[in-house]
Structure 1
Amino acid sequence: MNKLVKLTLGVVATAAIVSCNQQASKETPASSTPATSTQEVAKEEKIVYVNSDSLSEKYQYYKDVRTKLEAKVKKAQNDLQAKGQAYQRELAEYQQKGGTMSATERQATEERLVRLQGDLGRMDQNASANIAQEEQTEFSKVYSAVTEYLKKHSEEKGYKLVLTYSKTNPTVLYAEPSMDITKQVIDALNKEYSDKNASAKK
């Protein structure tokens, strides 16, 4: 029997390039500020990153989705286990009494056991497929919520690139702590999610 699909609970990827319509800054005499210094500061402000490990641990929407999916996996496992135990009981009973059954009874019982075994296999496959589909749908919504917020936030702050960092998938090997906007992103996302839930309950 195949095992139920395991939740991947993958980390939400938040890399997004966004456009920024900033107002032109006031011109200053070239002699007052070196051009290279201004360019370096501007460059530093345009690229930031979000720690996706922290995002998955502290973003309430992500945690709620993960909890809901884990509950569905557990229920599916319990249902499958119950059906499996019922099948095993019938199989054991047949093995004990099979010798005393008539040929017709044995054939009918064997056909029933074959059907039950097939039902278990289909139940396993359907549960796995349904959970995998729901997982994809739910985490796609989480991803959209994060990227939509980052798009607005980046337009406000003038970020051109938002990277994602994870210890399990370190595509960014090093970044200055000043580039880390994880906490403010998580705080804002949690507030947005909390406000949305509060409005839905009214």
Structure 2
Amino acid sequence: MKVTKFVLGASLVALLAACNNQSKQADPQAATTTSTEAETPATPATVYVNSDSLLTNYEYFKEIRTRLQTKSQDAEKDLRRRADAFQKDVANYEQTAQGMTMQQRSTTEQRLAQRQQQLQALSQQTGNELAMEESEEMKKIYDKVEAYLQNLSKERGYKMVLTYQRGNSAILYGDSTLDITTDVVKGLNEQYASEKASAKKETPKK
């Protein structure tokens, strides 16, 4: 049983595209813009983020992934230990069944069948709980990235933020000057570091 692989991929496309901002009001003095101002490079209306690089370098995502992977591995080890113990009991029954009475065999078989059902139910329950927790954590990541991109777009005047993923993207080519991945990762990590520092200060000492 393994936690589903973390890949924002297509989901991040919708998330980033949703971070579009309303166009700024036209400047009534635009007609009087000087030639020097006109030569100033304008802020691009559309930019993009490399989702692979974002996931690789976003500290919050990496911590969540490591924690859930560890939890999944621990659950898998526990289930394997229980399954091994069950198999040993089954093997022991098969070796001793001939020396048992019919009533003893019936009771033992019922007990083993019940344990098998319990193991299957536990495996299903554990898998569902891990999947639910992963879904909740991924939503938190989506919310954090979306909120950050919305604020960044307002500050810089972006009208649309696209996502790029090599081999799985609608963007066939994008000029490197439109790639804001580095800025986004840096900003997200600084924000997360600040949140962790604040949480640490608020935690009462024992």
One-letter code aligned to 1:102: T
Q: CA deviation at 1:27?
A: 2.6
- 2-side partners of 1:177 and 1:68: how far apart? 34
Alpha-carbon displacement from aligned partner over 1:67-109 (angstroms, at most 9, x marks no partner): 1110111011001101100100100000000010111110111
Q: Deviation above 3 Å: which 4+ runs of structure 1?
A: 20-23, 28-33
One-letter code aligned to 2:60: Y
2:20 aligns with 17
Matched, 1:7 2:4: yes
State the superposition RMSD in angstroms.
2.3
Q: CA deviation at 1:8?
A: 2.4
- 1-side partners of 2:190 and 2:35: how far apart? 42
One-letter code aligned to 2:159: K
2:191 aligns with 192
Aligned residues: 194
Matched, 1:156 2:159: no
Alignment of 1:99-138 (within 5 A): 99-138=98-137
Relative to structure 2, which stretch is displaced further, 183-192 or 18-27? Answer: 18-27
Seen in structure 2, the aligned counterparts of structure 1 residues 23 and 149 have a Cα distance that, compared at 3 Å, is farther
TM-score normalised by L of structure 2: 0.86
Matched position secondary structure for 1:48? strand
Alignment of 1:21-170 (within 5 A): 21=24, 24=27, 26-29=29-32, 32=35, 42=42, 45-170=44-169
Instruction: Give the share of equivalent positions with the same residue, in percent.
Output: 37
5+ residue gaps, structure 2, are: 202-206
- 1-side partners of 2:26 and 2:183: how far apart? 24
Alpha-carbon displacement from aligned partner over 1:21-46 (angstroms, at most 9, x marks no partner): 4672743458959x9x99xx65x711
5+ residue gaps, structure 1, are: none
- 2-side partners of 1:175 and 1:83: how far apart? 53
Relative to structure 2, which stretch is displaced further, 24-33 or 140-149? Answer: 24-33
